[in-house]
A and B are shown apart, each in its own frame.
Chain A
Amino acid sequence: MKRWIALLAVFVLVLAACTGDDDTAGDDGGATTTAGGGTETTAATETTAPGDGGESTTTVAQVADESLIETVTANGVLKCGTRDALPGFAVLDESGEHVGFDSDFCRVIAAAVLGDAEAVEHIDLETADRFTALQSGQIDVLVRNTTWTASRDGGEGATFMQPNFYDGQGMMVSADSGFASVSDMDGVIVCVAKGTTTEGNAAAEATRLGLNWEVRAFDDPNLIQEAFLAGQCDGWSSDVSQLVAVRSVYPDGPDALTILPEVFSKEPLAPAVRDGDTAWAQAVNWAILATIQAEEFGITSANVDDVLASSEDINILRFLGAEFETDSGTTVLDPGLGLPTDFAYQIVKQVGNYGEIFERHLAPLGLERGVNALWFDGGLLYAPPYR
């Protein structure tokens, strides 16, 4: 009996050792319940110490050593944090491809850095763990309909880029409800999606206006619509882009719903990168700005080759990475962003300018350009000069 048990002991230990490496998943489950919380930071610093060796560095150490712009270029693929079920911004088509406004901005960044818009690995994230994924290095950039706020900038280890969409929270009601303004709505039930800034904004707005709202939160947008259809909600509050999207395919027709004129929060939706990697942040930021700049110049995916061949405008030639004349001969502008000099050309050629991306994904939802128009059209989009 003893021998058998000793044999068994050895076997169990060997098994435990074998699974040890790739098993940390489950081991964590066991270990962290007792000690995990406290050891997290020390584990990171411990592994950073021998970091000079190179190989054994954690992702935390890599941030300090090497910019993601080099890592991404070396890997040849951009890991873009996104989602799979937000109409207009990122949904899966029937072959499982990511389609949408945010998905195209992932492609914009890939086209800029790698010269190939399709060199993207779209990684679907839950709302709750999007920042963790960014910090841990699971993704290179987060383009997931994320509102830029001060506490996220400060507290989540994220650095926000040029917003690619200015949204705001609004209120939608039944057309026959008689409400013409948010301030008419007293003693009503307002339905929102759970786990976003929407819930808190709605409560704050009710307090500000001195109204009595019961805010009801739902896990799934499908469920809000069911509740709304069943008459369980007087108002439906969400980002206006989403309200417009819902309204356009509402079972009783778009006219059955009214979106009230008030917009009671600012939701600049911006891509984000990890704190502390300035080189990468600049590259990503200029990739986004290039879509705006291209629209300012009137360059589209259709005419970019013609413009490149025929344009005499030195600003456009600089922007597209073409040769232009200076006093000291012909040259190409390399502003030192770490991007290929023709990155803007690649973006426009392969994905399109801002207006094209908007028309492709958001206009079909029924969204107007509004504040997302160019500055000279009365919008907020303004790219710093490329020179």
Chain B
Amino acid sequence: MTTRTAPAPALVWVRRHLFRSFWDGLMTVVFGGLGLYILFRLARFVFVTARWEIISTNLKLLMVGRWPDIHLPRISVTLVVLAALGGLVAGLIHARQVRAGTSAVEGMPLPARASDLGRRFGLLIGAVLLLLALTTTVGTWLTAAGFVVAGVVGRLAGARIGRDRLSRPVIILLTLVFIGVPAGMYLYLVDAVPLADWEGFFFNVSAAAAGIVLSFPLGVLLALGRRSRLPLLKTVSTVYIEVVRGAPLYVLLLLANVSLEFFVPASFSPSKPIRAIVTFTLFTAAYLAEIVRGGLQSVPRGQEEAAKALGLSPVKQMGLIILPQALRNVIPAQIGQFIALFKDTTLAGLGLGILELLGAAEAITQQPDFRGQGLIIESLAFVAFMFWVGSFTMSRESQRLERKLGVGTR
């Protein structure tokens, strides 16, 4: 009697997924080969042929532009404080989920939690380590260490504070902290270096953050305005949305750059980063308005009727019942818009002449030590990598948020 030994599970998987039929197998071989070849070329470029001195020499210029060295600690302090704040938020959310019994990580053993964190932020951590490897100063390492410590402390504190239901004074206090601390950090930074001199990747990140924070409320208001029954409000909102969405962002930035001087006195003219941020905000708000409007329409009419039946005021109907559901439904589109905004900040270089990451990366290829050697490829690869890390992390976190909030499953 012969017993057929079962093939190894890996082999089964391979046969079932990659070589199910002849054509399947062919596809696997062709595309697998192509993929491996591209991967090989990429790895060869990154580790063998590329000359990264142009990046390491100019790392400071690329990251923070001409930020004075003596004021660099202010950026470090800001990052550490924001890490603590971020940790606090994460801790509070975690505690709330524990109380609600929906936490995914509660009760997970420590190694599993670490690997979960690694999956979420591994890419970001890797990128930061890579940058740290290129630096020669202690300050950056200290900042990174401070960032991690502050984040952990904030996370633990948040979990502790949120263990019991928050009382009203605590909620008010926390709200003040979340508004006051970032505003304070902003003032702390502009006290040393005015916004007009914010450059490098620091500008891209700051402009994107400001654009996201400012465009969100404006977008929601515009969406509500467009659905309003007041004809004036409706018309204004609709015209605004359609006009702004109809113009290319680059054109708006160019207009912000060149046309303003003809209308306002030079002494009143705002600095370039402000022009950029305002343009980004107004542009993104128009798109967000349409996304949010889509979300509002996706909320079943019964929800509003039920809210009315409960006797809620119109503000409460919108604020407690309709808007939360509407916003939850369109998280992927919103985050997509924010990612687009983050990447679009590079247009400020060309449109407004701000020395942001892309502009600096192009400028350094003409330095006496590096020009004429085709280093534009290394330079652009670095820019692409930085934006990819940021965008991909945002996208992963948004997917996680969707899963948590049950978008598409309810």
Interface residues in chain A, defined as those with a beta carbon under 8 Å from any beta carbon in chain B: 1-9, 11-12, 15, 19, 21-30, 32-34, 36, 40, 43-44, 47, 55-60, 62, 84-87, 91-97, 123-126, 129, 132-133, 136-138, 220-223, 225-226, 229, 245-246, 248-251, 364
Contact = CB atoms under 8 A, between A and B. Distances in A.
A249 B373 contact: yes
A192 to B, nearest CB: 17
A113 to B, nearest CB: 18
Contacts of A15: 218, 221
Contacts of A9: 225, 228, 230, 232-233
Interface of B: 57-58, 60-61, 65-66, 199, 218, 221-222, 224-225, 228-230, 232-233, 236-237, 240, 243-244, 246-247, 251-252, 254-266, 268, 270, 274-275, 278-279, 281-283, 313-315, 317-318, 350, 353, 355, 359-360, 362-368, 371-374, 376
B64 to A, nearest CB: 9
B36 to A, nearest CB: 26
B256 A29 contact: yes
A323 B124 CA distance: 67
Contacts of B254: 129
B355 A58 contact: no
A122 B158 CA distance: 47
Contact of A43 (B247, B257, B262, B274): B262
A129 B258 contact: yes
B243 A33 contact: yes
A5 B265 contact: no
A9 B360 CA distance: 43
Contacts of B282: 19, 23, 25-27, 29
A94 B60 contact: yes
Given A23-B278, A249-B371, 20 more contacts: A4-B313, A8-B228, A15-B221, A25-B256, A26-B278, A26-B281, A28-B252, A29-B244, A30-B240, A30-B244, A34-B243, A36-B259, A84-B359, A87-B366, A87-B371, A96-B360, A137-B266, A138-B261, A220-B362, A220-B376
A4 B372 contact: no
Given A59-B265, A96-B66, A123 B355 contact: no
Nearest to B275: A25
Contacts of B236: 12
Given A95-B66, A126-B350, A249 B372 contact: yes
A265 to B, nearest CB: 23
Contacts of A124: 353, 355, 359
Contact of B259 (A5, A28, A59, A221): A28
Interface of A is mostly: helix
28 contacts: A4-B315, A7-B315, A12-B237, A24-B260, A24-B263, A24-B264, A26-B278, A26-B279, A28-B252, A28-B259, A29-B282, A36-B255, A43-B263, A47-B265, A59-B265, A91-B366, A95-B60, A96-B61, A96-B360, A126-B353, A136-B262, A136-B266, A138-B266, A221-B366, A245-B371, A248-B372, A250-B372, A251-B374
A249 to B, nearest CB: 3
A96 B65 contact: yes
B144 to A, nearest CB: 22
A30 B261 CA distance: 17
Contacts of A250: 372
A261 B224 CA distance: 69
A29 B353 contact: no
B281 to A, nearest CB: 7
A56 B236 CA distance: 30
A341 to B, nearest CB: 30
Max chain B C-beta neighbours (<10 A), residue from A5, A40, A229, A364: A5
B229 A29 contact: no
B256 A28 contact: yes
Contacts of A133: 258
Contacts of A125: 353
Max chain B C-beta neighbours (<10 A), residue from A4, A124, A137: A4
B40 to A, nearest CB: 22
Contacts of A6: 230
Contacts of B363: 84-85, 91-92
Contacts of B279: 25-26, 29
B353 A92 contact: no
Contacts of A59: 261, 265-266
A248 B373 CA distance: 11
A140 B264 CA distance: 18
Contacts of B362: 85, 220
Contacts of A4: 313-315, 318
Contact of B366 (A28, A85, A223): A85
B279 to A, nearest CB: 5
A97 B60 CA distance: 13
Contacts of A123: 353
A125 B355 CA distance: 11
A30 B245 CA distance: 10
9 nearest A-B residue pairs (beta carbon): A25-B256, A26-B282, A249-B372, A136-B261, A4-B314, A96-B66, A29-B252, A222-B376, A85-B366
A251 B266 CA distance: 46
A95 B61 CA distance: 6
Given A32-B255, A94-B60, A222-B374, A25 B278 contact: yes
